[in-house]
Amino acid sequence: MCLFLFIASLLRWQDPRATYWLIGSVLYLVGAVLVTMLFNVPRNSALAVLAPSNPAASNFWVGYLSTWTAWNHVRMIAALGAAVLFTVALCFRA
């Protein structure tokens, strides 16, 4: 849906909702989807292969927890911002 809204915003730039569609789409696609793919999923995969009894697991967990949480906050803020922008766009009449 975000890809559709991104394209629609470029094709219908005169529409007062276009700016909200564009920024909301970019915010969600980059801040939520791309961050998940580039930062959270690789960390989850690395954690999944560690054995809890491995001495390196506790060191990995400390770094994992802080970086994963930070990127998760980025995802949450981006998704919330996109939702706000899409909601604002719904308030406009075409």
Break the chain into its structural domains and give their ranges: 2-91
From the number of C-beta atoms within 10 Å of its C-beta (0-12, 13-18, 19+), residue 25 rates as: buried
- Reply yes or no on whether the pLDDT at 37 is more than 90: yes
pLDDT of amino acid 94: 61
Q: Name the helix (H) or strand (E) containing 38.
A: none
Q: What pLDDT digit, counting tens, does each position of 60-77 carry?
A: 888 888 899 999 999 999
Q: How far is 41 from 12, CA to CA, in rounded Å?
A: 35
pTM: 0.84
Q: Name the helix (H) or strand (E) containing 41.
A: helix 41-48
